[in-house]
């Protein structure tokens, strides 16, 4: 059976009578970057929350690799191989950089509570393995020198990279990234872009929510446009760029000189 990646089917959601999402269906294929774009308030983050289990949809279902996860909580979805980042930086302050990354692998299992408290060798071995994997990831993100630093001492751009490394530690099949480069300087944007491409290259289905259109056009294999809670269109970057509806709804008249639309 081929892995179907992330399949979003007929998702609807209202908040107090306001329709935020209306019958949204979308697929993120394994090994590809699927971008979800749209103006502010289009419902992108709500969709990310529904996909990752932080919010319950009124209707519709979420499948990951052929498993229906609609009724599972966010912790159980992590166990099923679904990882996400957050729009606002969510890191584990008080933990070192490497412990932040090791935490990402939590959903893959390990020693139980009691063997950990007693300090059984089995628990120590599992911990060493998780550490070795985290070290490899830090190396890949150029963060090796910072491994033992408290994560709160890092500048914003590097903290964002730690968040990405943490997500990868889960070895996820599906990754949801909610505006991973918002507020980042140009060189960090490039670094994040490379890592996202690499995630997909390794076989993960990546759902990328992003306002930085240059990045989206550059690294996406497929783009879906959300407007007023409905899927306006989807297609390859070139198609989306050329579609008059998208230009009108989102990109504005200067579609050729697409710049990040993030209001600063």
Q: Rule CB under 8 A: say whether 154 interacts with other proteins.
A: yes
* Binding mask of the shown chain, residues 56 to 75, with x at each position contacting other proteins by CB under 8 A: -----------------xxx
Residue 186 touches other proteins, criterion: CB under 8 A: no
Whole-angstrom distance, CA of residue 83 vs CA of residue 166: 9
Does the protein bind other proteins through residue 148 (CB under 8 A)? yes
Residue 37 or 102 with smaller CB distance to other proteins: 102
Least separation, in Å, of the C-beta of 67 and other proteins? 15
* 3-state percent breakdown (helix, strand, coil) of the chain, nearest 5: 40, 25, 35
- x-or-dash string of contact with other proteins, 77-106, rule CB under 8 A: -xx---xx-x---xxxxxxx--xx-xxxxx
Please tell me what DSSP assigns to residue 172. Answer: -
Q: Sign of torsion, CA 15 18 19 20?
A: negative
Report residue 119 as tokens.
């300090």
d(CA 249, CA 106) in angstroms, rounded, equals 41
Closer Cβ to other proteins, 175 or 226, answer by number:
175
| Among 48, 99, 114, 112, CA closest to 77 | 48
Q: Tell me if 130 contacts other proteins by CB under 8 A.
A: yes
Phi, psi of 178 (to 5 degrees): -95, 100
Contact positions toward other proteins, by CB under 8 A?
A: 52, 54, 73-76, 78-79, 83-84, 86, 90-96, 99-100, 102-108, 110-111, 113, 116-119, 123, 126-127, 130, 144-150, 153-154, 163, 166, 170
């Amino acid at each position: 059976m081929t892995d179907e990646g992330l399949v979003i089917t007929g998702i609807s959601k209202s908040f107090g009578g306001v329709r935020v999402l209306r019958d949204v269906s979308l697929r993120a294929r394994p090994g590809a970057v699927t971008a979800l774009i749209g103006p502010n308030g289009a419902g992108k983050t709500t969709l990310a929350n529904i996909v990752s289990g932080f919010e319950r949809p009124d209707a519709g279902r979420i499948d990951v690799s052929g498993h229906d996860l609609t009724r599972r909580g966010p912790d159980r979805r992590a166990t099923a191989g679904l990882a996400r980042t957050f729009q606002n930086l969510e890191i584990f302050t008080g933990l070192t950089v490497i412990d932040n990354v090791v935490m990402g692998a939590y959903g893959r299992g390990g020693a139980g509570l009691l063997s950990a408290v007693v300090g059984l060798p089995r628990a120590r071995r599992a911990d060493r393995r998780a550490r070795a994997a985290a070290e490899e990831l830090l190396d890949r993100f150029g963060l090796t020198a910072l491994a033992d630093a408290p994560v709160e001492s890092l500048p914003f751009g590097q903290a964002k990279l730690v968040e990405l490394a943490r997500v990868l530690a889960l070895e996820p099949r599906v990754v949801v990234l909610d505006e991973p480069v918002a507020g980042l300087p140009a060189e960090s944007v490039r670094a994040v872009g490379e890592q996202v491409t690499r995630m997909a290259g390794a076989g993960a289905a990546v759902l990328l929510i992003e306002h930085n259109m240059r990045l989206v056009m550059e690294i996406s294999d497929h783009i879906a446009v959300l407007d007023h809670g409905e899927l306006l269109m989807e297609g390859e970057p070139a198609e989306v760029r050329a579609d008059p509806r998208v230009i009108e709804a989102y990109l504005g008249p200067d579609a050729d000189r697409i710049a990040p639309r993030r209001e600063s």
